Chain A
């Protein structure tokens, strides 16, 4: 069974790009446009990996990671955040919230896949 990935971003174009790339690589992809939506999805089904943007309306990525990490079924799930090069303190906040790691924006599909391959086999 293909690994499932929850992709969270408020920007439709980024979401499409991420989703398209991952689907092309054989992953099952679920999309959400903000933290609240993502959390609801995560609660109703299980995924093998979550990739989330940081800056989003309603619930940002850091809060989402904190919430997810608090759920028993997401204790060990890799949670990656999409961040910009200027977000050094964001990385720290993310780590503190329980993020596994990050992908630095801008990234291309290849970098995305390489990073994903690192965390799910």
Chain B
């Protein structure tokens, strides 16, 4: 049979990796000393599936390795082995190794042999250490036994006594099937014993009453015969006696065959011969041959590459299809209307266009929904991370998670992982204290790190909260002054001080640990999050803990924007960044040293960024502050005013990458195509802030010089 097994590999790998996640999560949920049957069962099931699949699809090293894990899990499941923290750790490590093996197999290579060996040795040691070491029983026993039976003299055939128990038919087995199979081994003589057959009216048609004396005239291996009877050995009496050549007494040759004594009376009077004509066998073989090509042609190779796929809830697809249906209806309605249009049909046209707009928007939302994945894809790695880290550091930490089902754009899922790992590591490493420190501070020994996600007003908010020691405000300030990041007489709020840890090159860890690195990462974390169009904030209380809040836009592909006009150009300002738009009189302007042009808005001095200056617009309509409008925007906790000619309107825009089509432009995050076909640039507000800051510091330098 030539079925190309490679076509199933992709699915096998996908489900195996899912299985590994199940195993990992299950293992992390297990507590030493407690055997939660359901938990172990699901871990076992995952291992079992991986083993079965890898064996079937030809990844024998994987299945051998998984077999050892499975044996260990099986013993835990049956209560033959205690669940120890060592056992959990060894299994966790072997899950990692297994993941490497599968990844390697997927890429067509082999995993690091040394690691596999080491992990295998750990598992074997654990297995051998337990009292259930004997549980490792080879399955081939029966066959080996049979074939190992020393045959002093080769038999020329076999005499088989087959006496089904009455319930045999109700196991789905059929005596005829067994006899036919025997026939395939060689020429077979069959005699049927009907002596147990009751009178017709006493007969239960569901019972089996017949017995057979069979003689197989071929010197086949006894194991082959045993194989045929394997399924029914408990549902019948059967004996296999070798037929020896010339004058051999068959009954004497085999000492005490299992059921020979019961079978003896079977040699009774009436023995109608049932004899299948040999052609039947041939016919069947022909059939088998005919089937082969069919399977072959169907076995066309399916692409086996490592293409990334996305699992979409069928509900989402259904709603998409519905939407498309609506769209088609609207389209045909409009088409009909257009065929002979007269001005009195204008209201119907308007109505139709309104519907078209609504359905298009719904369709758009549905399509965006497909890209939305629950954030649990990202969160799922943290239990393991926290488990491993706390073991390494000797801390006791409980990780709580909430809102794992909050849906986030796939790109966000992919990009938010690393920053989150960094932040959680920080909380575990620097936030949570050692158990004795915690007890001394009157806190429970076990620290808590809480990871949560939720939708809040068009944003995804991810929070990492720990009940550790909190940020050391004074130490951060000292460090910042020492590094020249701030001046000693700068009057900073707590919040502004905490913000300092996001400055490049800032680190307060007295001892650099290999867990959270050197602290240089926080500025990178902020940059990564800003690139996703999000923001990060930190809040902390000494002795109580810290909370890091990350805000991210729901999607990266569409943005609610305010269109503004400067000269002949149109720009888009992301609506989320806008606080308000106001007209400013020139007498409200101030020139502040180091800050350039500013204006006062409710006790705050905000720098003004003139867009026509930034983008070198030739003929702006407004150069005087009185003539234009100031759009007050906020990013990263700072505000500024963008000076534009005027506001146009609000609209949703589809973001097109400028970088991919042109190149990176400072202060611009992308571009979009407007309804009239023209291109408008989307302003990058954090970038504008940086531009303003650079310009101001230059201006400041110029002024002080």
Contact = CB atoms under 8 A, between A and B. Distances in A.
Interface string B267-291: 0000000000000000010001001
B52 A14 contact: yes
B171 A11 contact: no
A24 B139 contact: no
Contact of A82 (B14, B52, B63): B52
Contacts of A43: none
Contacts of B57: 13, 17
Given A55-B44, A105-B56, A85 B177 contact: no
Contacts of A78: 172-173
Nearest to B45: A55
A88 B36 CA distance: 24
A30 B139 CA distance: 31
B139 A88 contact: yes
Nearest to B233: A95
B137 A24 contact: no
Interface in A1-34: 10-14, 16-17, 20-21, 23-26
B307 interface: no
A23 B206 CA distance: 31
Interface string A93-119: 001001111101111111001000111
Interface stretch (B5-13, B92-100, B217-225, B373-381): B5-13
Given A13-B12, A100-B171, A106-B56, A113 B1 contact: yes
A86 interface: yes
Interface in B10-57: 11-12, 14-15, 42, 44-45, 48-49, 51-53, 55-57
Contact of B5 (A17, A69, A88, A99): A17
A24 B298 contact: yes
A95 B171 contact: yes
B234 interface: yes
B170 interface: yes
B295 interface: yes
A101 B1 contact: no
Q: What secondary structure prevails in chain A residues at the interface with B?
A: mixed
A106 B173 CA distance: 23
A108 B56 contact: yes
Contact of A77 (B12, B14, B51, B172): B172
B637 interface: no
A118 B175 CA distance: 11
A104 B45 CA distance: 17
Contact of B15 (A11, A21, A55, A86): A11
B3 A24 contact: yes
B294 interface: yes
Q: Chain B: interface residue count, which band?
A: 35 or more
B181 A118 contact: yes
Nearest to B291: A25
A16 B11 contact: yes
B505 interface: no
A86 B295 contact: no
A40 to B, nearest CB: 18
B140 A105 contact: no
Contacts of A21: 1, 3, 295
Interface string A25-54: 110000000000000000000000000010
The interface size bin for chain A is 35 or more
A69 B169 CA distance: 12
A69 B44 CA distance: 27
A101 B544 CA distance: 63
Contacts of A56: 45
A75 B206 contact: yes
A118 to B, nearest CB: 6
B248 interface: no
A104 B173 CA distance: 18
A14 to B, nearest CB: 6
B172 A100 contact: yes
A119 B172 contact: yes
Contacts of A95: 171, 231, 234-235
Contact of B139 (A86, A101, A108): A86
Contact of B172 (A79, A85, A105, A117): A79
A86 B171 contact: no
A117 B48 CA distance: 27
A95 B231 CA distance: 8
A99 B171 contact: yes
Contacts of B53: 11, 13-14
Nearest to B174: A119
Given A13-B15, A17-B56, A84-B51, A110 B63 contact: no
A12 B11 contact: yes
A86 B137 contact: yes
Nearest to A95: B234
Given A16-B8, A106-B56, A101 B288 contact: no
Interface in B163-203: 169-174, 177, 181
A25 B11 CA distance: 22
B678 to A, nearest CB: 49
B67 interface: yes
B604 interface: no
Given A10-B49, A88-B137, A117 B288 contact: yes
B56 A20 contact: no
A104 B44 CA distance: 18
Interface of B: 1, 3, 5, 7-9, 11-12, 14-15, 42, 44-45, 48-49, 51-53, 55-57, 63, 67, 70-71, 74, 137-140, 169-174, 177, 181, 206, 230-231, 234-235, 284, 288, 291, 294-296, 298-299
Given A24-B296, A95-B171, 9 more contacts: A13-B57, A16-B8, A55-B44, A84-B139, A99-B171, A100-B173, A102-B231, A106-B56, A110-B1
5 contacts: A12-B15, A20-B3, A56-B45, A79-B172, A106-B55
The 6 lowest CB-CB distance pairs between A and B, nearest first, are A106-B55, A85-B139, A24-B295, A100-B172, A101-B231, A13-B12
Interface of A: 10-14, 16-17, 20-21, 23-26, 53, 55-57, 69, 75-79, 82, 84-88, 95, 98-102, 104-110, 113, 117-119
